[in-house]
Amino acid sequence: MTNEARGASGSAVPARVGIVVAVVALVIATAGLTATVVGRSGFGMMGGVNPGARGGGMMGGGSWGGAMMGNGTQAVGPAPGSAGFVAGTVASPRVVRISATAGLRFLPDAVAVQQGETITFEVTSVGPLVHEFMVGPAADVAADTPGTPEVADIGMMETRSLTYTVDGPGPYAFACHVAGHYEAGMEGTIVVLR
C-alpha cells in the first residue's frame, strides 16, 4: 500500500487505497494532537503509525507534557505571558506547531509571540491536502508577495519547518496560498506582545 500511495499523486490512487489512506490519516491526525509528529517524511509517515516511531517523536519534545493544552492547540512550550515562558532566539528558536487541516484552516490560527522572538513554525498537513505556509508582514502575506518567507508542498501528514524572526511591532500573519485556500479563510494571525 505504501508504495502505491507514494507513487501516486492523488488521482491515480485506487479508491480502496484512498479510503485506507484517509483512515490512516485520521488516525495519525488524532495522534498528532497528543503526540509529537516529527520529521519531514511524506507518505513514509505511514510507517510512523507504529508506536516506536511515535515514542521517539515524543522524546524529542522534552517540554511536551507540560505544554499540552486541553483545547487541542499544539504549542510546544509556554506561550508569552505564561509561567515558564522562554523567548525564542536565533540560536534557539521557540518551536510552534501548527496543523493545516482538510477544512482549510490552521490550528491554532492565532499565535502569540514576544516581539523580537525567533520562532520555528512546524507545520503539519493533518489531512489529505497539500498546503503551503507563508509568514511575514500581514500585507505581504495577504498579497502573496514574492519573497515572503514560505514553505510549500506540505503533503499529507508531512511536516515542514520555517524559522522566522518577528522583529517588528506587526501586524504579522500567516497563510496558505494554494489555489482557493486563502480565499476560503486559510490564514492566521501572529499576536505580537511587547
Q: Which residues bind Cu ion (CB under 5 A)?
A: 131, 176, 178, 181, 186
Q: Shortest gap between Cβ of 109 and Cu ion (angstroms)?
A: 12
Please provide the DSSP assignment of 122-149 as one string. EEEE-SSS-EEEEEEEHHHHHHT-TTS-
DSSP at 3: H
What would the grid cell of residue 194 be?
A: 511587547
What is the number of other CB atoms lying within 10 angstroms of the CB of residue 62? Answer: 12
Beta bridge partners of 189: 110, 173
Phi, psi of 95 (to 5 degrees): -90, 130
Q: Which is nearer to Cu ion, 64 or 174 (CB)?
A: 174
3-state secondary structure of 5: helix
* Smallest separation (angstroms) from Cu ion to the CB of 136: 17
Asked if 126 and 100 touch (Cβ cutoff 8 Å), the reply is yes
Task: For the CB of residue 126, give the shortest distance to Cu ion in the complex, in Å.
Answer: 11
As measured in angstroms, the least distance from the Cβ of 104 to Cu ion is 6
Residue 95 or 186 with smaller CB distance to Cu ion: 186
Scan for cell 507514494, then name that residue: 6
- The single-letter code of the amino acid at 189 is T
Residue nearer to Cu ion on the CB measure, 109 or 165: 109
User: Minimum Å distance from CB 133 to Cu ion?
Assistant: 8
Residue nearest to Cu ion (CB): 176
Of 166 and 186, the one with the shorter C-beta distance to Cu ion is 186
Q: Please say which residue, 77 or 188, places its beta carbon nearer to Cu ion.
A: 188
Helix count (H) and strand count (E) of the chain?
A: 5, 9
